[in-house]
Structure 1
Amino acid sequence: MLIGEVARRSGVSARMLRHYDSLGLARPTGRTDAGYREYSSEDIRRIFHIESLRSLGLSLSEVRRALDDPGFKPSDLVDDLVRQTRERIASETELLTRLRRIGAAEPAAWEDVLQIVALLHALESKSAGKRQRAALSSVPVPVEALVEAALSETDPNVAGALRWALAQSGEDGLALLAEGLGSPVAQVRKRAVQSIAEISTGEATALLRDVLASPDLVVRRCAALALGTRGVADAVPTLIDMIVEETNDVDAADALSALASDPALEDRIATGLVDRLARGTLDSPARRRLAQALADIPGTTASDALADLSRDDDRAVALTATYILKLRNAR
């Protein structure tokens, strides 16, 4: 079969067939009566083998080795191709993500594009200072990039700057932060709820309410502290638990005090504290912390509970309650 017919039937251009011939990769081995070189069935089979291997991403030198080296191990080459393909996909995915983020920022000019690219590079810098400056930049950083950085940041100062930047963007990053709440990595879940807590919108508050049902204790407590300052009564049980367990107990007591500024909630909070005190399983320090939390809860329910505690069998608890009562009466 002559080169033109081979090209027509195989789909390989005559130019490429001549290139294979010049490289000695696939040469026509026959001759016609007129002296023209002719491809045999075996030659054509080799051409199809070459094209098959090229479709896997092999270079022509790798194809030659695969076809001509009797000691060649296909598994080694396939493993290498898998590695190269993964690296290429990762690189292309990174590029696609960067382009999408630049596009989301809607740059008006190439100068805007260059500024955004510089900020994205800065967010990925090994320097905490550069990452922090990027977060605080006057040039808006794409929200998706901010969320990704906030969920992975380990430096507390940079993390604070990133949360601030996210709060300035309003609710734009909430959907991505909500995905972070479902991460299998505990630290990512914690960073996600901390970032949501900085966003003072109704949607953020609703999301924090949902977090109160999370099995992750750290995430649940962080949400409760934020909700307490927003006047959400659903946070009360978790805040009381935090006082009992001496986990951010001062902050939890402050949050309960803020909630109790609403007259409709003061009895509910006082009753919750009293109910926990009534359980006989608490140790003395826990009962003393609960008594201290009652100090900033207005109303007769809290006062009556403190009066009862002033006669408590535990001297430390009784003295704490007595002192608090004196302060309340002096007001």
Structure 2
Amino acid sequence: MSAVETLVARLGAGDSSARLRSAMTVGDQPGLVEALLERCAVEPDFFVRDMLTWALIQQPAEVTVPKVLAELQSDRVQARSQALHTLSKIGSPATWSAITPELLRDPDDEVARTAWRAAAVLAPQDKREWLAGELVTQFGRGDRMVQLSLSRALVALGELIGPVLEPALASKDAGVRAHARATDLLLRDPDAAFAADVDAARRIDNLGPEKLAAAEAHKEAQAAC
């Protein structure tokens, strides 16, 4: 067995700690991009996957980037997700156009979440408003963590998302309205707890701002008695 074959075999060791150590040692070894990407597509351990990404970005970009881009077309969910994550870490603006609307709306939540994060990192200034318009079409999707990922990606685009939020804030879908309002609150206060923001958004949506203010004033008056 050659030295390269030995390294590749160790990436698939049965023990996750051994796989992690192997991934840490192969970053400066040439000719392993395909093996690293193959392992990314199947590796079950989050920390090992992150180290595999680190190893990939140590490889020459002219070799790595085209092969990472090809993984975006994979039928394997994890291959697409890890490729997007790797692109966000490489950070090359030239890869922006590979994050298509299809990836931003991928039916798999993990792929979509990774696409949102990567797009927010890579989008050039003149495409950020377009990206915001794409992202808001996903309001109301998924569980709390999926929704938080979407909101964080939007907030990362900055104040320009304000006008883009307006149609969602007036949506007939209560879930979309609450998610949009929570995103608006997060934009105003990035340190706010998202769960509290969603709860507040739903209360505002159900009561209306004036009734909510009256209810809060009534609670304060009762507490003072």
TM superposition score category, shorter chain reference: 0.5 to 0.7
- 1:236 alignment partner, one of 132, 138, 144: 132
2 CA distance for matches of 1:317 and 1:171? 54
Q: Please name the residue that 1:73 is paired with.
A: none
The TM-score, its normalising length taken from structure 1, stands at 0.48
- 1:213 alignment partner, one of 71, 94, 102: 102
- Deviation, structure 1 residue 270: 0.7
- 1:227 alignment partner, one of 119, 128, 153: 119
- 2:72 alignment partner, one of 181, 189, 202: 181
- Contact 1:224–1:238 under 8 Å retained in 2: no
Alignment CA distance shift 1:313-1:151 (3 Å) = closer
1:153 aligns with 2:30: no
RMSD (CA atoms)? 3.2
Q: Please name the residue that 2:221 is paired with.
A: none
- Contact 1:243–1:290 under 8 Å retained in 2: no
- Contact 1:136–1:165 under 8 Å retained in 2: yes
1 CA distance for matches of 2:136 and 2:209? 17
- 1:258 alignment partner, one of 143, 147, 156: 156
**SS class of match (1:183):** coil
1 CA distance for matches of 2:186 and 2:8? 46
Residue 115 of structure 2 aligns with an amino acid whose one-letter code is: A
Aligned identity (percent) is 24
- Deviation, structure 1 residue 182: 2.1
Q: Please name the residue that 1:295 is paired with.
A: 188
**Bigger relative contact order, structure 1 or 2, given CA contacts below 8 A and separation 6+?**
2
Alignment CA distance shift 1:274-1:204 (3 Å) = same
Residue 216 of structure 1 aligns with an amino acid whose one-letter code is: D
Consecutive unaligned residues in structure 2, runs of 5 or more: 191-200, 217-225
- Contact 1:239–1:252 under 8 Å retained in 2: yes
Q: Please name the residue that 1:193 is paired with.
A: 84
2 CA distance for matches of 1:212 and 1:125? 37
- Contact 1:171–1:201 under 8 Å retained in 2: no
1:276 aligns with 2:183: no
Alignment CA distance shift 1:316-1:244 (3 Å) = farther
- Contact 1:231–1:258 under 8 Å retained in 2: no
Alignment CA distance shift 1:178-1:156 (3 Å) = same
Q: Which has the larger radius of gyration?
A: 1
Residue 170 of structure 2 aligns with an amino acid whose one-letter code is: A
- 2:10 alignment partner, one of 122, 134, 155: 122
1 CA distance for matches of 2:93 and 2:123? 12
Q: Please name the residue that 1:166 is paired with.
A: 56
Consecutive unaligned residues in structure 1, runs of 5 or more: 1-97, 99-112, 261-265, 298-308, 324-331
